[in-house]
Structure 1
Amino acid sequence: MVSVNRVFAAQLAGLPVFGPDGESIGKVRDLVVGLRADRQPPRVLGLVLELATRRRIFVPMLRVTSIDPNAVTLATGSVNLRQFHQRANEVLVVGELLDARVTLASGAAAVLVDAAMEPSRTRDWRMTRVAVRERTGRLGRRGPVVVLRWEEISGPSATQLADQPQGAQHLVAVFEGMRAADVALALHDLPAKRRYEVAEALDDERLADVIEEMAEDDQKDVIAHLGDERAADILEAMNPDDAADLLAELPEREKERLLELMEPAESAPVRRLLAYSYDTAGGLMTPEPVVLSPDATVAEALAHVRNPDLTPALASMVFVCRAPTATPTGRYLGCAHIQRLLREPPSDLVAGVLDTDLGTLSPNASLPDVARYFATYNLVCGPVVDESDHLLGAVTVDDVLDHLLPDNWRETGLTHA
Structure 2
Amino acid sequence: MAEAGTLTLAFVSSHPVDAAKVLERLSVADAAALFTNLPARAAAPVLEAMLSPAAARILVALDDQAALGLLSATGVQSAVAMLRHVREPRRTTLIEGLSTTTALASRMLLGYPDDTVGAWADPEAIVVGSDTATGEALARVRGNPGLEANEIYVVDESQRLQGIVGLQVLLRAHETMSLAALMRPPAGVLPVAMPLSGAAAHPAWKQTNIMPVVERGDRFIGVLHAAKLAETLSRGHSGHTDTPDETLSGMLARGYWDTVSGLLRVGLAVLPPAQPVLPGDK
Tell me the TM-score normalized by structure 2: 0.71
Superposition deviation, residue 387 in structure 1: 2.3
Q: What's the counterpart of residue 223 of structure 1?
A: 59
Of 208, 232, 235 in structure 1, the residue corresponding to residue 71 of structure 2 is: 235
| SS of residue in 1 equivalent to 2:199 | helix
Do the aligned partners of residues 173 and 300 (structure 1) sit closer, same or farther apart at CA in structure 2, a change above 3 Å counting?
Answer: same
Q: What's the counterpart of residue 161 of structure 2?
A: 332
Tell me, in whole angstroms, the C-alpha distance in 2 between the residues paired with 1:358 and 1:304.
21
Of 92, 100, 110 in structure 2, the residue corresponding to residue 274 of structure 1 is: 110
| SS of residue in 1 equivalent to 2:194 | coil
Q: What's the counterpart of residue 257 of structure 1?
A: 93
| SS of residue in 2 equivalent to 1:246 | helix
Of 123, 147, 152 in structure 2, the residue corresponding to residue 318 of structure 1 is: 152
Structure with a larger share of its residues in helix: 2
Do the aligned partners of residues 269 and 337 (structure 1) sit closer, same or farther apart at CA in structure 2, a change above 3 Å counting?
Answer: same
Cα distance per residue 1:322-380 (max 9 Å; x no partner): 35xxxxx6232111234544665677554333222533211111112211226554321
> Do the aligned residues in 2 keep the contact of 1:276 with 1:282 (CA within 8 Å)?
yes
Superposition deviation, residue 189 in structure 1: 5.8
Superposition deviation, residue 297 in structure 1: 1.7
Q: Does 1:304 find its partner at 2:141?
A: yes
Tell me, in whole angstroms, the C-alpha distance in 1 between the residues paired with 2:87 and 2:56.
11
Superposition deviation, residue 205 in structure 1: 3.3
Q: What's the counterpart of residue 212 of structure 1?
A: 48
> Do the aligned residues in 1 keep the contact of 2:187 with 2:208 (CA within 8 Å)?
no
Taking the TM superposition and a 5 Å limit, the aligned residue runs for 1:63-102 are 100=1
Of 148, 155, 173 in structure 1, the residue corresponding to residue 10 of structure 2 is: 173
Q: Does 1:363 find its partner at 2:200?
A: no
Tell me, in whole angstroms, the C-alpha distance in 2 between the residues paired with 1:252 and 1:263.
19
Do the aligned partners of residues 254 and 357 (structure 1) sit closer, same or farther apart at CA in structure 2, a change above 3 Å counting?
Answer: closer
Do the aligned partners of residues 309 and 357 (structure 1) sit closer, same or farther apart at CA in structure 2, a change above 3 Å counting?
Answer: closer
- Higher Cα Rg, which structure: 1
> Do the aligned residues in 2 keep the contact of 1:316 with 1:380 (CA within 8 Å)?
no
Taking the TM superposition and a 5 Å limit, the aligned residue runs for 1:396-407 are 396-405=225-234, 406-407=238-239
Q: What's the counterpart of residue 15 of structure 1?
A: none
Tell me, in whole angstroms, the C-alpha distance in 2 between the residues paired with 1:306 and 1:259.
26
> Do the aligned residues in 1 keep the contact of 2:164 with 2:186 (CA within 8 Å)?
no
> Do the aligned residues in 1 keep the contact of 2:117 with 2:195 (CA within 8 Å)?
yes
> Do the aligned residues in 1 keep the contact of 2:205 with 2:226 (CA within 8 Å)?
no
Do the aligned partners of residues 376 and 402 (structure 1) sit closer, same or farther apart at CA in structure 2, a change above 3 Å counting?
Answer: closer
Superposition deviation, residue 193 in structure 1: 6.1
Shifted more, 270-279 versus 295-304: the winner is 295-304
Cα distance per residue 1:174-226 (max 9 Å; x no partner): 443x1543442354466766633431232223322321111234302321232
Amino acid at match of 2:199: V
Q: What's the counterpart of residue 408 of structure 1?
A: 240
Q: Does 1:201 find its partner at 2:37?
A: yes
Amino acid at match of 2:156: R
> Do the aligned residues in 1 keep the contact of 2:52 with 2:81 (CA within 8 Å)?
no
Tell me, in whole angstroms, the C-alpha distance in 1 between the residues paired with 2:135 and 2:239.
41
Of 10, 14, 21 in structure 2, the residue corresponding to residue 185 of structure 1 is: 21
Q: % of aligned pairs identical?
A: 23
> Do the aligned residues in 1 keep the contact of 2:36 with 2:66 (CA within 8 Å)?
no
| SS of residue in 1 equivalent to 2:202 | helix
Q: What's the counterpart of residue 262 of structure 2?
A: none
> Do the aligned residues in 2 keep the contact of 1:318 with 1:336 (CA within 8 Å)?
yes
- C-alpha RMSD of matched pairs (Å): 3.3
Tell me, in whole angstroms, the C-alpha distance in 2 between the residues paired with 1:407 and 1:367.
16
**Bigger relative contact order, structure 1 or 2 (CA pairs below 8 A, ≥6 apart):** 2
Tell me, in whole angstroms, the C-alpha distance in 1 between the residues paired with 2:151 and 2:16.
24
Q: What's the counterpart of residue 380 of structure 1?
A: 209
> Do the aligned residues in 1 keep the contact of 2:118 with 2:213 (CA within 8 Å)?
yes
> Do the aligned residues in 2 keep the contact of 1:305 with 1:316 (CA within 8 Å)?
no
Shifted more, 249-258 versus 340-349: the winner is 340-349
Q: What's the counterpart of residue 5 of structure 1?
A: none
Superposition deviation, residue 289 in structure 1: 1.2
Amino acid at match of 1:383: P
Cα distance per residue 1:15-57 (max 9 Å; x no partner): xxxxxxxxxxxxxxxxxxxxxxxxxxxxxxxxxxxxxxxxxxx
Amino acid at match of 1:250: V
> Do the aligned residues in 1 keep the contact of 2:53 with 2:82 (CA within 8 Å)?
no
Gaps of 5+ in 2: 252-282
Structure with a larger share of its residues in strand: 1
Cα distance per residue 1:147-166 (max 9 Å; x no partner): xxxxxxxxxxxxxxxxxxxx
Q: Does 1:354 find its partner at 2:183?
A: yes
Tell me the TM-score normalized by structure 1: 0.50
Amino acid at match of 1:172: L
Gaps of 5+ in 1: 1-99, 101-110, 115-167, 324-328
- Matched length: 244
| SS of residue in 2 equivalent to 1:384 | strand
